[in-house]
Amino acid sequence: MITLDPARPRAWAVAIRERHILAVGDAPDMEAVTGPGTRTLDMAGATVVPGFNDAHCHLLGLVQGLLSVDVSAAGSIPEIQGLLRGRSADVPPGQWIVATGYDDFQLKEGRHPHRRDLDQAAPSHPVRLLHRTGHAWALNSAALERLDIRIDTEEPPGGLMERELDTGEPSGVLFGMADFLRERLPPLGEAELREGVQRASDAFLAVGITSIQDTSQASGPEQWHLFKDLKREGHFAPQLTAIVGFPALDLLAQEAHTPATLEADAPCLWGVKIVLEEATGRLNPSPEELDFQVSRAHALGIPVAIHAVEQEAVEAAASALERVLHADPRSLRHRIEHCAECPPPLQQRLARLRVTVVTQPPFIYYRGDKYLSQVLPEVLPYLYPTGSLLRAGLRVAGSSDAPVVPFNPLTGIYAAVTRRTEGGGVVALGEAVTPEQALALYTTGAAHAAGEEERKGSISPGKLADLTVLSADPTAVPPDEIRDIRVTMTILGGKVTFS
């Protein structure tokens, strides 16, 4: 058993009473706490670690993905048509069919599917296909009609609608029109949503995730109430912590958000998300607006989670936090999400601010080959710099950003240790961490990032009995084999929820 508790890093047995850990030690230590009603579970030498905590993901986005048809493996338009035909048999006519992951470069035809291609497969359903980049859509005729997209529809700024050469009618292929579509699309139906959430819940438990932190800027009171309903109705089993968009700051000010005062299984509200991104050559929000948002949250004692990927964005986030903390040096648990480009001087600034960095080790695996071919050579050595952030004394939490990439924490732990990409390349080997440090990203680090270290993150008496059982010890196998380790059992709040 790897406890992640410095007081007793390794142990052989754990005693659980109801939802909590009662004692940790060797088998003889357990005699004092067992009685006639005690049930014993023999792990047969398997490796037990604290339940994994994904510190940054998007539950509702993930659910959308689970409910859609995955066409990412399709090599031709007829293959996509076949997948759509299959789904249309299960969906009542008139109901949306959503498919994701097509790639025109990967299709034999070398082009986007047009509405007529999609009409052939599912003439009586509105169909929408999302490109793997998320920036292009292909719609069939029923979908165009449903969304009232016609020959005289004007493109929004930055959007482009492909047209048929002979008729001038929309071909169904849309570029850069995500917001335009979002405003017109219906929300998921109640039953469909709950089915998707249940599937997401099972999928998290199957890879040993017992806690997630939903960090969606679009979240506000509506999503928060939905999360509470989903938990109360039992559709979502893992512990859920929500970080909501800055406009929902008042919600945080109203709702008590100290984990200790919560009901056992209620979701927890923690912090506001601010997305800081370059748009048309400058950062949005502006430095003034960012200062305003950070200082408002800070004044209310609410942590901010600033999405900052490129170096300029991370620098701007650091500057805003420096100004706010200079004026009001209270220590709050502010976080920077992603922090992809962060050379040593900037790491030092972040260390002085005592922020938590929420990183995504699986990006190294799933996107590393792209980084190796596209990222500037002077930036590459400090890309997602987990090792040097830890050496600089920063707290670092691990996460997947799902549905952006798959969320199995063992893939993230493998990538954090080996810095290996899916294609076998290596990204910034100097940033590799030990298997113990990689486990800490998804346990103690993630718990700290949401102020939950009193109840989660290690196998320690008094904490929640959230445990993950692994087929092998990630600290003992050769690093290349970490990727093959399986989760054999997940215990959530003292109950076996997956095995």
The phi and psi torsions of 335 (rounded to 5 degrees) equal -130, 155
Tell me which stretch binds Zn ion (CB under 5 A): 229-237, 326-334, 395-403, 464-472: 395-403
The CB-nearest residue to Zn ion is 401
Q: Which residues contact 136 (CB under 8 A, 6 or more apart)?
A: 104, 112, 130, 173, 174, 175, 176
What b/e string do you get for 239-261 counting C-beta neighbours within 10 Å, with b at 16 or more? bbbbbbbbebbebbeeeebebee
Residue with tokens 């039953």: 191
Identify the residue among 291, 401, 431, 452 touching Zn ion (CB under 5 A): 401
Query: In the numeric block, which tokens belong to residue 146?
Result: 């449903």
Nearest to Zn ion of 173, 243 (CB atom): 243
Binding residues for Zn ion restricted to 308-337, rule: CB under 5 A? none
Nearest to Zn ion of 401, 431 (CB atom): 401
Q: How far is the CB of 404 from Zn ion (least distance, A)?
A: 6
Q: How far is the CB of 58 from Zn ion (least distance, A)?
A: 6
Peptide bond into 403 cis (omega under 30): yes
Q: Which residues contact 187 (CB under 8 A, 6 or more apart)?
A: none
Nearest to Zn ion of 56, 419 (CB atom): 56
Cα–Cα distance measured from residue 383 to residue 375, given in angstroms and rounded to the nearest whole number: 9
Q: How many residues bind Zn ion (CB under 5 A)?
A: 1
Peptide bond into 285 cis (omega under 30): yes
Q: How far is the CB of 399 from Zn ion (least distance, A)?
A: 8
Nearest to Zn ion of 54, 401 (CB atom): 401
Tell me which stretch binds Zn ion (CB under 5 A): 21-29, 377-385, 387-395, 398-406: 398-406
Q: How far is the CB of 360 from Zn ion (least distance, A)?
A: 8
Tell me which stretch binds Zn ion (CB under 5 A): 203-211, 264-272, 399-407, 429-437: 399-407
Binding mask 91-110 vs Zn ion (x if CB under 5 A, - otherwise)?
--------------------
Cα–Cα distance measured from residue 51 to residue 277, given in angstroms and rounded to the nearest whole number: 33
Tell me which stretch binds Zn ion (CB under 5 A): 37-45, 367-375, 378-386, 397-405: 397-405
Under a CB-based contact definition with an 8 Å cutoff, are residues 399 and 55 in contact? yes
Q: Which residues contact 463 (CB under 8 A, 6 or more apart)?
A: 20, 21, 454, 455, 456, 457
Under a CB-based contact definition with an 8 Å cutoff, are residues 47 and 472 in contact? yes
Nearest to Zn ion of 338, 483 (CB atom): 338
Nearest to Zn ion of 5, 401 (CB atom): 401
441 three-class SS: helix
Q: Is 54 in the site for Zn ion (CB under 5 A)?
A: no
Q: How far is the CB of 453 from Zn ion (least distance, A)?
A: 23
Nearest to Zn ion of 172, 409 (CB atom): 409
Tell me which stretch binds Zn ion (CB under 5 A): 35-43, 127-135, 371-379, 396-404: 396-404
Nearest to Zn ion of 174, 313 (CB atom): 313
Nearest to Zn ion of 246, 498 (CB atom): 246
Nearest to Zn ion of 401, 452 (CB atom): 401
Residue with tokens 């904490």: 463
Residue with tokens 């048509």: 81
Query: In the numeric block, which tokens belong to residue 330?
Result: 């209270």
Cα–Cα distance measured from residue 224 to residue 241, given in angstroms and rounded to the nearest whole number: 10
Cα–Cα distance measured from residue 259 to residue 239, given in angstroms and rounded to the nearest whole number: 11
Q: How far is the CB of 252 from Zn ion (least distance, A)?
A: 19
Q: How far is the CB of 432 from Zn ion (least distance, A)?
A: 24
Tell me which stretch binds Zn ion (CB under 5 A): 89-97, 125-133, 206-214, 394-402: 394-402
Under a CB-based contact definition with an 8 Å cutoff, are residues 231 and 263 in contact? no
Tell me which stretch binds Zn ion (CB under 5 A): 25-33, 119-127, 131-139, 400-408: 400-408
Cα–Cα distance measured from residue 173 to residue 244, given in angstroms and rounded to the nearest whole number: 32
Beta sheet of 495-498, edge-to-edge order: 47-50, 467-470, 487-492, 495-498
**Interface positions with Zn ion (CB under 5 A):** 401
